[in-house]
Chain A
Amino acid sequence: MVTRRFAVLVLLGVPLPLLLPSPWLAVLGIVLVAGAVAGFDAMAAAPLTGIALRREGDRTIWLGDQATVTLTVTNRSTRDLRLDLRDSWVPSAGAGPLRHRLDLAAGEQQTLTTTLHPVRHGDRPAARVTTRSYGPFGFAYRQRSRSWNTERTPAWNLRVLPPFPSRRILPEKLARMRVIDGSQVTRGRGQGTEFDALRSYVSGDDVRSIDWRSTARAGHVVVRTWRPERDRRVYCVLDTGRTSAVRVAGVPRLDASIDAALLLSVLATRAEDRVDLLALDASVRARVEEGGQNQKLTRLIDGIATLEPALVETDYTLLAAELLRRGRKPSLVVIFTALDTAPMIAGLLPLLPKLATRHHVIVAAARDPEVTRLAELPATFTAADVHTAAAAQRALADQERIAHVLNRSGATVVDAVPGELASRVADLYLLLKATGRL
């Protein structure tokens, strides 16, 4: 393929037909000369097959952080390589710079650095490295088809972990959990419901916890100590359907759900409970269960990272089927969704009484702070503001009504703005843990 220089070469020949006696022969001559030069140039360009590409760098980052991925280009051919290279990533990877100009002698190699600022969580793959090898004069170049370039591109995937703004409140929640757990020495053993150990009575112990049988056997007063239950089951259910796709305070509602689910998972893992995760809309999108507790959190974050809301209606019968499959052991089922009337009435509500008989169900939903704001009239207002306030109050009333209905069907509803949802869910979990209702 020719370059702009080739066009300039043809343009330079424009005066010749005017100066030479035979204009058509002059045209033919110019075309032949320019074509021959371009043909030679293309022939002399270094072969594309002699280029070797290798990639290294970050594979996982948190959203908001910066990743660096390097691409090493090696010229394995025997000719000097004048290369234009485009390292394409998906647009949301925020990669740059995309274009590079390289001059590589035979056998030489050079490393190109791509900096990535992803704008969304999930997998951000490198799409394609396109190479273009120029001839020594720059009149022509070699470039292969898109599929050829795609085939030779070294695969790379940057996994961007979802935003976890609630990380900052994690220490506080963990501290509260340790209080419940009784592991803080200052507070002594906790008031759990699960039997922990027997020890000698010391002054100040609750007389109700004296184990009389052991006292008789041991010959001195022995008390039972209790600790909070462990190894309970927490089942996080993320609704990735259409109600999670809409934007609440500028970000998809799913992001708020993910944040809350992550905080709950970290807390529950630390409390030595068993955390499983299910993401579903019209089908099951992600399922993280089984496996050791140590890698569980990593796997969980990994599973959540690739979740994207789909514009479909969520099928809650899938949730019922999953719970049935897991056996009869009761769990804390936390459903992260939205309190929209139609999906709740038609989807979750019919199943809820059955679920609630065996499991403790929490329905957590991120509410739109904008609706709450619009429901209040400003100091001076017009008729349009009144209509808006009426619509907003109606929307809030609908949400309250659905929350009430869900409550009556046995679920605990947490309805909070995105910034508070994670904290509220965590508080509820800690409360249940402290009161031994898990």
Chain B
Amino acid sequence: MKKVRNWRWLRLAVPIAVVLAVFVTTAVLHAFQQADPADNDYLNPDSQAPIGSARLAEALRSEGVKIRKVATTFEASTTLWAQPNSTLFVTAPEFTDVEHLTEERWLPSGSRVVLVRPDNGFLDEAGWPASTDGERWTAAAPAPGCDLFTSPAAVRKLAYRTEFTSCYDGGVVEFPVGEITIVNVVGAADPFRNDRLDEHGNRDFALNLLGHKNQVIWLDRHERDRWPTSDGPPVTDRPAPDGLGDGIGTPEPEETYDDSGDEPESDETRSGEAESGSDSEDEQPTPTAEPDGAAQQAREQANAFPPKAWAVVLLVLLAGAALAAAAARRLGTPVAERLPSRVPANETMLGHARLYQRGGSRGPSLRILRHTSRRRMTEHLGLPPDATDEDLAEATGLPLERFTEVFDPESPPRRDSHLVAATKKLRDLERDVLNEGETQ
């Protein structure tokens, strides 16, 4: 019986497959669209590519900020150490040598460090008082929410939590390291990119962040960095690279403080405020942040699209639900009925046949055929059922050998071809016997 193929499973499989395909496509496209820190253009101060930062570097220069591009962690640390009144801008923290970069002795007082999207591993290893607090699908541009910045900027992709100053809902955090080094952590690379510099208040934000000091040490690194272990000075406990540290190292921080005038002071006062205020204000964010964490995250996700888009989605969903409801109600259910049996009467017989074949029962099969054939012959010749080969030969006039060959073989057929040959012989004999009878 031909088996009808059942396609009903498609009803379940197709919607799931469509949803999965949408998920996978979205994930792939999203991953594809992300700027890759390993790309040489990524936040490169000399690159005009969309993900480069040439425009920002130009803007900084026009503000009178000197840009010094360095390529290794070692170079960055030593340069910062030599010129403490600078901002160290780390575009790809994950490629740097965390242990040495964040070592307090390499961060002279008065310096400033800006990190773009450091992950939790980096922050943990550094032992800095900040941790990540969820990641968004795209960068959001919330209002600053603190005094450090004035314009909204697209900084909140990776959010951070700190007990010190937090801006842009955790998109930017600021905390002191050691005594006086200020570290800024930015949750997204968008404000520094050529293609996004003019969006929101990105330009103001970037200039404000990097324009505190006269010089920006721009660590432009696109592959994993290792601290040169063969160098003597870096691994000794006295941080005096290039022989400059001794002379400039100690007085510089003091000078930096004085030099930078309002800015560092205000920085310090701000951070001081943040610190002092943490007694009173800390309780406000902490208890609200803990239980409302999930809710806040959901709210943030909802903010990814404007309300109009959500309203349209809701309406489309409602229409879909109405369509489903309209299609689901049947005009009368199907009527069930008992079906008659479809088993053919010769099912058992065919089963036996297959069993003989599978079991290679050539001998028994041939024996059955012989028995039937012999009975037909004896009936035809009018002989008793137990007539011998000699009786048959005598009655038909055929040679006795033919009967003995067919009915008393020396061995049962061992192969299918033997079985077919033996059956052919049997059939020929039977035909001859029956014809013989007829001619007689």
> What residues make up the interface of A, taking CB atoms closer than 8 Å to B?
1-4, 6-8, 10-11, 13-14, 17-18, 23-24, 26-27, 30-31, 84-86, 88-92, 99, 120, 127-130, 132, 143, 146, 149, 245-248, 252-253, 308-309, 311, 338, 368, 370-371, 374-375, 377, 381-384, 386-395, 397
Find chain B residues with CB under 8 A from A13 CB: 315
Whether A84 and B331, one on each chain, are in contact in the complex, defined by CB atoms closer than 8 angstroms, is yes
B369 touches A393 (CB 8 A): yes
A31 contacts across to B, CB distance below 8 A? 318
Which of chain B's residues have a CB closer than 8 A to the CB of A10? 315, 318-319, 322
Q: Which of chain B's residues have a CB closer than 8 A to the CB of A18?
A: 308, 312
State whether B341 touches A382 (Cβ < 8 A).
no
Whether B439 is near chain A, meaning CB under 8 Å from some CB there, is no
Contact partners of A252 in chain B: CB under 8 A: 340-341
Q: Do A146 and B312 contact each other (CB < 8 Å), given the known contacts A368-B346, A386-B366, A386-B423?
A: no
Closest to B357 in A: A387
Q: Which of A7, A11, A368, A391: most chain B CB closer than 10 A?
A: A391
Closest A residue to B335 using CB positions: A127
Given contacts A7-B323, A91-B335, A253-B345, contact A377 B329 (CB under 8 A): no
Cβ of B420 within 8 Å of any chain A Cβ, yes or no, is yes
Q: Which residues of B contact A308 (CB under 8 A)?
A: 338, 340
Chain B positions 309-361 with a Cβ under 8 Å from a chain A Cβ: 310-312, 314-316, 318-320, 322-323, 325-327, 329, 331-335, 337-338, 340-350, 352-354, 356-357, 361
Which chain B positions have C-beta within 8 A of A248? 344-345
Interface centre among A120, A309, A393 (most CB of B within 10 A): A393
B352-A389 in contact (CB<8A): no
Chain A residues near B329 (CB, 8 Å)?
1, 143
Sample of 29 A–B contacts (CB below 8 Å): A1-B326, A1-B329, A2-B325, A2-B326, A3-B326, A8-B319, A11-B319, A13-B315, A14-B319, A84-B331, A143-B331, A146-B332, A146-B333, A245-B343, A246-B343, A246-B345, A247-B344, A248-B345, A338-B345, A368-B346, A371-B346, A371-B349, A377-B427, A383-B362, A383-B419, A386-B362, A388-B353, A393-B372, A394-B368
B364 interface residue (CB < 8 Å to A)? yes
Given the known A-B contacts A245-B340, A368-B345, are A392 and B353 also in contact in the complex, defined by CB atoms under 8 Å? yes
Decide if B337 touches A92 in the complex (CB within 8 Å): yes
The CA-CA distance from A246 to B250 in the complex, in Å, is: 105
Chain B proximity of A255: nearest CB distance (Å)? 10
B243 at the interface (CB under 8 A from A): no
Q: Which of B311, B340, B349, B369 contacts A17 (CB 8 A)?
A: B311
Chain A residue with Cβ nearest B373: A393
Asked if B120 is at the interface of the complex by the 8 Å CB criterion, the answer is no
Determine whether the beta carbon of B362 is less than 8 Å from that of A23: no
Number of B residues, CB within 8 Å of A: 55
Q: Which residues of A contact B369 (CB under 8 A)?
A: 386, 389-390, 393
Distance in angstroms between the alpha carbons of A250 and B356 in the assembled complex: 26
Asked if B349 and A395 make an inter-chain contact with CB atoms under 8 angstroms apart, the answer reads yes
Q: Tell me, yes or no, whether B416 is within 8 Å of chain A by CB.
A: yes
> In residues 120-162 of chain B, which contact A (Cβ within 8 Å)?
none
Residues of A within 8 Å of B384, CB to CB, are none
Chain B contacts for A86, CB-based, 8 A: 331-332
- In the assembled complex, the CB of A5 is this many whole angstroms from the nearest CB of chain B, namely 8
Q: Do B319 and A7 touch (CB < 8 A)?
A: yes
Tell me the complex Cα distance, A91–B333, Å.
12
Assembled-state Cα–Cα distance A395/B372 (Å): 12
Q: How many angstroms from the CA of A91 to the CA of B323 in the assembled complex?
A: 29
Quote the shortest CB–CB distance from B118 to chain A (angstroms).
38
Inter-chain contact B342/A24, CB cutoff 8 Å: no
Q: What is the distance, in angstroms, from A91's C-beta to the closest C-beta of chain B?
A: 6
The minimal Cβ–Cβ distance linking B58 to chain A, given in whole angstroms, is 39
Minimum Cβ distance to chain A for residue B221 (Å): 46
Q: Contact check: which of A2, A30, A394 meets B315 at CB < 8 Å?
A: A30
CB-CB under 8 A from A120, the residues of chain B are 340
B 358-396 binary contact with A (CB < 8 Å = 1; else 0) = 000110111011011000000000000000000000000
**Counting CB contacts under 8 A, is B307 at the interface?**
yes
Check A90/B343 contact, CB under 8 A, given A27-B315, A391-B350: no
B326 near A23: Cβ-Cβ < 8 Å: no
B326 contact set on A, CB distance < 8 A:
1-4, 6-7
Closest Cβ of chain B: how far from A324's Cβ, in Å?
A: 32
Look across to chain B and name the residue whose beta carbon is closest to the beta carbon of A143: B329
Q: Quick check: B365 and A390 within 8 Å, CB to CB?
A: yes
Which chain B residues border A89 with CB–CB below 8 Å? Answer: 335
Further contacts, 12 of them, CB under 8 A, given A247-B342, A309-B341, A395-B348: A2-B326, A17-B308, A23-B312, A246-B345, A247-B341, A308-B340, A309-B340, A386-B366, A386-B420, A390-B365, A392-B349, A393-B372
Whole-angstrom CA separation of A120 from B342 in the bound complex: 13
B350, A388: Cβ atoms closer than 8 Å: yes
**CB pair B331 A130 closer than 8 Å:** yes
CB distance from B334 to the nearest CB of A (A): 8
Which A residue's beta carbon lies closest to that of B325?
Answer: A2
The docked-state distance in angstroms from the alpha carbon of A2 to that of B319 is: 11
Most buried by A among B322, B342, B423: B322
- A129–B350 Cα distance when bound, in Å, is 46
A14 near B346: Cβ-Cβ < 8 Å: no
Instruction: State the 8 A-B residue pairs at the shortest beta-carbon distance, nearest first.
Output: A130-B332, A23-B311, A17-B311, A383-B416, A390-B365, A391-B353, A7-B323, A7-B322
Residues of chain B lying within 8 A (CB to CB) of residue A17: 308, 311-312, 315
A83 to B82, CA, bound (A): 91
Q: Which residues of B are found within 8 Å of A393, using beta-carbon distances?
A: 368-369, 372
Complex Cα spacing A381 to B369, Å: 14
Determine whether the beta carbon of A370 is less than 8 Å from that of B365: no
Using an 8 Å CB-CB cutoff, how does the interface string of B284-313 with A read, 1 for contact, 0 for none?
A: 000000000000000000000001101110
Question: Looking across the interface, which residue of chain B has its beta carbon closest to that of A18?
Answer: B308
Assess A91 versus B308: contact at CB under 8 Å? Given A130-B332, A394-B352: no
Determine which of A24, A88, A247, A370 lies in contact with B335 in the assembled complex, contact meaning CB atoms within 8 Å: A88
